[in-house]
Amino acid sequence: MRFAVWLVALLMLLLLSPAAGATWTKEVKVYVSDAGNRPIANAKVDLTWQFTEIKDGEATVYANDVGIASANLTNLVYESRASHDVTIVATYGLQTVTKKANLEFSPDIISAQLALYQIKATVLDQDNAPVQGVSVYTPPWTFKTDSAGYAIFRLPKKGATIVAEYGDVRSEKSISVTGDASVEFKFTLPTVTIKVLDERGNPIVAVVRMRELEKGTDREGNAVFAKVPYYSANVTVSYAGNEKTERIFDIRADMMKRIIFDFSPPFIANLNAQLLDDKKIRVYADVVEQGIYASGLDPAYGVKLFASTGGEFAEYEMFPLNSSAFQATIPKQPDNTTITYYVAAADRQGNEVQSSSNTYTTPAPEPPPGPGPSLIPSVQFEWWWLIVIVVVIVVAVVAYIIFKED
C-alpha cells in the first residue's frame, strides 16, 4: 500500500515537472515571393512540425494578397525531448521550395522564395486601347486581363507558349524565360451594327442579342456592338412578342446587318375572269408585296385560286405571268353556271391574305338561227321623196295651165 502511494506521487511529480514539457501554441508566418522578391498571392504553404520521432501536426494555408501565409502550430505531446522544428513547403503551380525552421529561433516571418519570374502580358485592340476580360494562359495557369489590358503571372526559367483568347479571336506567342519579361498581343475587333426595320424601312425599337451580348436599338433602329470578338454569331431580335434569329458570318471588319420584320401580307388586286375559246375560264390576279424590304411571296405556299359552283371550293395553283401577275384556269363549266372564286397568298414571314370573292357566270346558249336572206333586193322607201314628187307635179300642172291661157 505504501509503495503504491509513493508510485502515484512520483508520477504526479514527473507530469508536473518543467522537464516533462508543456502545451504551447505559436503563430507561424511565411512570406512567399518570386525571384524578384515580389509577393505571390494564393501560393500554397504546407507545414509539418515534429516532436522527437512523432509527427504531431500538419497544416495547409494560402498566401494572401501580400504573400503572407499564417498558421497557428500547437504542441500536443508532453515529453522532455519535445522539438520545435517545422518543415515548410511552398508551392505555386509546378514550382516548390522547402524550408526548415525552429520555432524557438526562427524570425517572426519565415521567407520562402520561389525561382519564378514575372511575365506581364498586355492585350490591345486596333486602336491601342486595352482589352479587358481576355483569357491569357500557359499551363497550368489561366488569367484574365484587367481594365488596363494586363495579365501578370509567373513562370520558371524555361521556354513557354503563351496564348491569348477572346471569344473567337486567338493568338499565341513563344518566349524563352530567363528573367522578368513582357509580351504583347494585338487584336483587331470589328464593330457590328444591327439595323432593325419593318418592311417599309421604318426603324423598330427592339432588343438585340449577339451571343452573350445584348443591346437595345436606338431611334434609327441601330444596335451597335463595338469591338466584337466573334468571327460568326447568331443574332436574335425580339420585338413586341416576335423573335427572329439570323446568323452572320465572316466578321473580319466593321459591318452592318439589316434584320427585317415584315408585318404586312401581300396585296391582291385586279381579280377578273375571262371565257376562253375552249369554254374554259381563265382567272387573272395581281399579287404584290408592299415595302422596299418586303420578304417576298412564299414559294412553298404559292398563290392559290379557290373556286366553287355552289359546293366545296376547289383549289387551283396560279402561275406567274410576270413578277406580279398570276393566272389559273378553271375547267369548262355548263352554260349559265355561276362560279364564285377568290385568291389567297402568303409571304415568307407567314403573313397570309385572302381576296374578296368575285363571281363569273358562263354565257347562256345562243338562240337558233332565223330564216335566210331574201333574193329580191329590198328598197327602203323614204316619205320625203313622195312630197317632192307631189310638189313637182303640182308646179308642172300650174305652169301648163298658165301657158295655155296665154
| Structural domains of the chain, with CATH | 18-113 (2.60.40.1120), 117-186 (2.60.40.1120), 192-261 (2.60.40.1120), 267-361 (2.60.40.10)
Whether 182 shows a pLDDT value over 90: the answer reads: yes
What is the rounded CA–CA span in Å between residue 150 and residue 169?
Answer: 17
User: pLDDT class for 19, splitting at 50, 70, 90?
Assistant: very low
If we measure between CA atoms, which residue out of 267, 266, 263, 284 comes closest to residue 275? 284
The 10s digit of each residue's pLDDT in 348-374 is 999 999 999 999 999 987 776 666 555
Q: How confident is the model at residue 375 (pLDDT cuts 50, 70, 90)?
A: low
What are the grid coordinates assigned to 246, written together? 439570323
Does residue 79 carry a pLDDT above 50? no
> Using one digit for the tens of pLDDT, what is the confidence trace for 195-250?
999 999 999 999 999 999 999 999 999 999 999 999 999 999 999 999 999 999 99
The C-alpha atoms of residue 256 and residue 267 are separated, in whole angstroms, by 30
Look at the pTM and tell me if it is higher than 0.95: no
Q: Which amino acid is at 237?
A: V
